[in-house]
Amino acid sequence: NGAGVHWQGIATYARFQLNDWFAVSPRFEWYDDNDGFTTGLAQTVKEFTFTTEQKISGNLLTRFEYRRDFSDEPFFNKPGGLLGKSQSTLTFGFVYVFSSKGEQ
C-alpha cells in the first residue's frame, strides 16, 4: 500500500551551445529505492547520459544520445533471459520545434 516507504533521487543536467548549430548535454541521475516500491526491487540506480544536438535547418534538430545505466542489484535484461547490473543504450532522433517566434 506504500505506507512507510521511502525513495529519493537527485539529477544534474547541463547544456553547452558550442556554436550556432551544435550543442552537447551531459546528464547524471541517482535514485535510491530502499524498499523497492517504485522499481520493484530494493536497489540504488544511477545513469550517465551524453547527448549531441545538431541543428539541421530552421526548426529541425537531430540528437544522438549515449546512456549508461547502473544498479547495485541485477536489474537490466541481458541476452538469454539473464539480468545484469548495467546496460548501455544509443538513441538517435529528429526533433521539430514548433514556435510562434519564427525560425529558431
| 74: its cell numbers | 541485477
The rounded mean pLDDT for the chain is: 94
* SS3 state of residue 14: coil
- Confidence at residue 3, expressed as pLDDT on a 0 to 100 scale: 77
Show me where the domains of the chain are located.
7-96
Model confidence over 17-38: pLDDT tens digits? 999 999 999 999 999 999 999 9
| 8: its cell numbers | 529519493
Residue 37 CB burial class (10 angstroms; 0-12, 13-18, ≥19): middle
Beta strands in the chain (DSSP E): 7-13, 16-17, 22-33, 43-57, 60-71, 76-77, 83-84, 86-96
| Neighbour tally for 33: CB within 10 Å | 20
Q: Splitting the chain (104 residues) into consecutive groups of 10 residues, what average pLDDT does each group show? A: 85 98 98 95 97 95 98 96 97 92 59
Stated pTM of the model: 0.83
- Confidence at residue 2, expressed as pLDDT on a 0 to 100 scale: 63
- Confidence at residue 44, expressed as pLDDT on a 0 to 100 scale: 98
| 95: its cell numbers | 526533433
Alpha carbon distance 46, 71 (integer Å): 7
